[in-house]
Structure 1
Amino acid sequence: MKGPALFLAQFVGKAAPFDSLDGLAGWAAGHGYVGVQIPTNDPALFDLAQAAQSKSYCEDIAARLDRHGLRVTELSTHLQGQLVAVHPAYDLLFDGFAPAALRGKPAERQVWAVEQLKLAARASRNLGLATHATFSGALAWPYVYPWPQRPQGLIEEAFSELGRRWTPILDAFDEAGVDLAYEIHPGEDLHDGISFERFLESVGEHRRATILYDPSHFLLQALDYLAFIDIYHERIRAFHVKDAELNPTGRSGVYGGYQGWVERPGRFRSPGDGHVDFAGIFSRLAQYDYQGWAVVEWECALKHPEQGAAEGAAFVRSHMIRRAERPFDDFAASGADSATNARLLGLTR
């Protein structure tokens, strides 16, 4: 495992040092981070089109980060990925993720989003990255709770269409030699293990369809996030270190009663302030020899973002596990050979 790293999306702002990649890099390095995950929706921060076309641009980005002792962990197209599949109920809300010229034009917006993902594949290759982070978008999410009863075949058709939209994108990532890691997230059609399996089937078990593991979203669904690693570890390629807590009451539970984040029983917290068992997660990932980055995604209903970021690097570093190179009980090895083993079992050869 590599880290600690920081997802920059929540920290981009209009004032220094948060208004430029160099400023953010110096600030993140000053808190002890060695990697950054970069959002790609703002050309002033990172020009996705130029990165897809120009290796020299990518070399310049890498060199600027290297001066601060940083590396790019992954690029992120969470906002663009969301627009690959949008149910009409969300058209107006998600229009804000697209360029102004495409707002109110869902078909054109979707074409643009697909092209953004294909640019991200080439940009990731030019940066020498192994993984890219995104969202799947959603067609079936309004029907997640079956009331009224879902018509037969509705979910199957939604995932078939999702597969049709994403397969050419996954092929572009395969051509680039980059894994596409979907953050499994409520609001997306890929929001738990079963829905990810449905998606895998719809894209023919595509080898580039992988997972960005974020336990905060699983805790808030009351899903066993440690068992998730046991089941899907071969597909986990990225990791967001994000905490959450779930404190159901007699008045509200998982759904939250439309309350704001501070009042909700389920809310995101800074790493270490919530209920997520990070010791168990880091142990599971070490057990399965996870080779990717541990990236802090700061989202908290209470704590100031700069405090959360400042604490996050040390939190990750304290949980990272260096795998043992030999069994802990080697000091008591008997030195037995195969002949001795046979004798111990009462066998003759």
Structure 2
Amino acid sequence: MKTIQGPGLFLAQFAGDLAPFDTLDHLAEWSAGLGFAALQIPSWDARLFDLALAAESQTYCDDLRGRLAAKGLQISELSTHLQGQLLAVHPAYDRQFDGFAAPAVRGDAAERSAWAAGQLKLAARASARLGLKAHATFSGALAWPYLYPWPQRPAGLIEEAFAELARRWRPVLDAFDEAGVDVCYELHPGEDLFDGLTFERFLDAVGQHPRANILYDPSHFLLQQLDYLAFIDIYHARIRAFHVKDAEFRPNGRQGVYGGYAPWLERAGRFRSLGDGQIAFGAIFSKLAQHDYPGWAVLEWECCLKHPVDGAREGAEFIKRHIIRVADRAFDDFADGQTPRAELRQLLGLEGDA
């Protein structure tokens, strides 16, 4: 069995223009001071990371790793959540997502998608240079506007959407395979990959590609009312990254899973800081340990109530408490012994040797 690594911190929600959130070195010192052991780095944030340079320069990557190691930190994964999103965008969301893309490709869906594919391939090479084995991303979405079948979806619509999604992702997955890095899709509402069935559909469309894997985030499953513990039992072989994020779901007579367009603070389903929600993390860490999860436990903070600094400080301790140092021997080893076969048969009431 493997002991889960952690705690890690996803920097996307913390990076900003003011110290200590303005540079990777400042964030590293701050994170290490809170007790984090690794950072998940958003590859699109130039204040923290130069993706193009990392893809080409081993010197840059070695220097980066050395600076973090001096503070007692590693890199858990790089993230291309925004670039993955832009690989496949339904036209309904063009204007909203254009701001995530490089200025030169805004307003041109085909160019934007090609740019995103290039970014993802850079991330594959950068991850390899940094010695990483997993990568965090989104799948993008072509079918999401048709989630609820009213008006009734035309026959073949979802199949065509997933065929196209697979066509765009297949060369990217091949690039990650060449780099020896797993692509871990965060299964997330708003993406075409948002639950187990959509992940299975995608796996079929990409020919069960070995690099198509899962970033497990139970908060998104709780808000869908999906059994997030059974999910681990079903898909553990493909879980290669883990966001430790809490949530609560309190439906009432006015709203349920869909939230009634309420703001986050007033939704029945809300993200919360670790320990403030309803997710059974003790059971999650136990199942991941049981199934030999090989990666990091990374805090993603998106609480609608608590200050992020408090959420990070409390979250580091929360993850430390939940990581199970797995046993190196069975608890009943003391009773083990070598019993001759003849005695075994005698114990079973069987006479003589067979």
Q: Where on the TM-score scale, by shorter chain, does this alignment land: which range?
A: over 0.9
Secondary structure of 2:87 counterpart: coil
Q: TM-score with structure 2 length normalisation?
A: 0.97
Supply the distance in 2 between the matched residues of 1:327 and 1:208 (Cα, whole angstroms): 33
Supply the distance in 2 between the matched residues of 1:200 and 1:24 (Cα, whole angstroms): 36
Supply the distance in 2 between the matched residues of 1:338 and 1:226 (Cα, whole angstroms): 41
Match of 2:207 in 1: 204
Match of 1:303 in 2: 306
> Cα deviation per residue 1:135-193 (whole Å; 9 max; x = unaligned)?
00000000011101111000000000011000000000000011110001100000000
Shift of 1:332: 4.0
1:52-63 to 2 correspondences below 5 Å: 52-63=55-66
1:102-113 to 2 correspondences below 5 Å: 102-113=105-116
Match of 1:166 in 2: 169
1:84 pairs, out of 87, 109, 117, with 87
- The one-letter code matched in structure 2 to 1:187 is G
Supply the distance in 2 between the matched residues of 1:319 and 1:134 (Cα, whole angstroms): 25
2:347 pairs, out of 330, 344, 348, with 344
Shift of 1:335: 5.2
Secondary structure of 2:320 counterpart: helix
Supply the distance in 2 between the matched residues of 1:229 and 1:249 (Cα, whole angstroms): 29
Secondary structure of 1:83 counterpart: helix
2:14 pairs, out of 8, 11, 15, with 11
User: Unpaired segments of 5 or more residues in structure 2?
Assistant: none
Match of 2:185 in 1: 182
- The one-letter code matched in structure 1 to 2:133 is A
Match of 1:326 in 2: 329
1:275 pairs, out of 268, 274, 278, with 278
Supply the distance in 1 between the matched residues of 2:53 and 2:285 (Cα, whole angstroms): 36
Secondary structure of 1:273 counterpart: coil
User: Unpaired segments of 5 or more residues in structure 1?
Assistant: none
Q: How many residues align?
A: 349
> Cα deviation per residue 1:9-53 (whole Å; 9 max; x = unaligned)?
000001001000000000000000000000011223100000000
Secondary structure of 1:253 counterpart: coil
2:226 is equivalent to residue 229 of structure 1: no
Q: Which piece of structure 1 moves more, 42-51 or 239-248? A: 42-51
Match of 1:286 in 2: 289
Counting aligned pairs with the same residue, the percent is 68
- The one-letter code matched in structure 2 to 1:203 is V
> Cα deviation per residue 1:231-256 (whole Å; 9 max; x = unaligned)?
00000000000000000000001110
Supply the distance in 1 between the matched residues of 2:140 and 2:115 (Cα, whole angstroms): 14
- The one-letter code matched in structure 2 to 1:310 is R
Match of 2:197 in 1: 194
- The one-letter code matched in structure 1 to 2:93 is Y
- The one-letter code matched in structure 2 to 1:309 is A
2:132 is equivalent to residue 120 of structure 1: no
Supply the distance in 2 between the matched residues of 1:32 and 1:158 (Cα, whole angstroms): 43
Aligned-pair RMSD on alpha carbons? 1.0
- The one-letter code matched in structure 1 to 2:292 is D
Cα distance 1:281–1:337, how it changes in 2: closer, same or farther (>3 A)? Answer: farther
Match of 2:38 in 1: 35
Shift of 1:334: 6.0
Shift of 1:105: 1.2
Supply the distance in 2 between the matched residues of 1:291 and 1:259 (Cα, whole angstroms): 38
Supply the distance in 1 between the matched residues of 2:130 and 2:110 (Cα, whole angstroms): 31
Q: Which piece of structure 1 moves more, 267-276 or 323-332? A: 323-332
- The one-letter code matched in structure 2 to 1:4 is P
Match of 1:216 in 2: 219
Q: Which piece of structure 1 moves more, 321-330 or 87-96? A: 321-330
Match of 1:257 in 2: 260
Cα distance 1:204–1:23, how it changes in 2: closer, same or farther (>3 A)? Answer: same
The higher-RCO structure (CA 8 Å, 6+ apart) is 2
Shift of 1:194: 0.2
Match of 1:26 in 2: 29
Supply the distance in 2 between the matched residues of 1:56 and 1:194 (Cα, whole angstroms): 42
Secondary structure of 1:268 counterpart: strand
Cα distance 1:128–1:344, how it changes in 2: closer, same or farther (>3 A)? Answer: same
> Cα deviation per residue 1:201-246 (whole Å; 9 max; x = unaligned)?
0100000000000000000000000000000000000000000000
Supply the distance in 1 between the matched residues of 2:118 and 2:138 (Cα, whole angstroms): 15
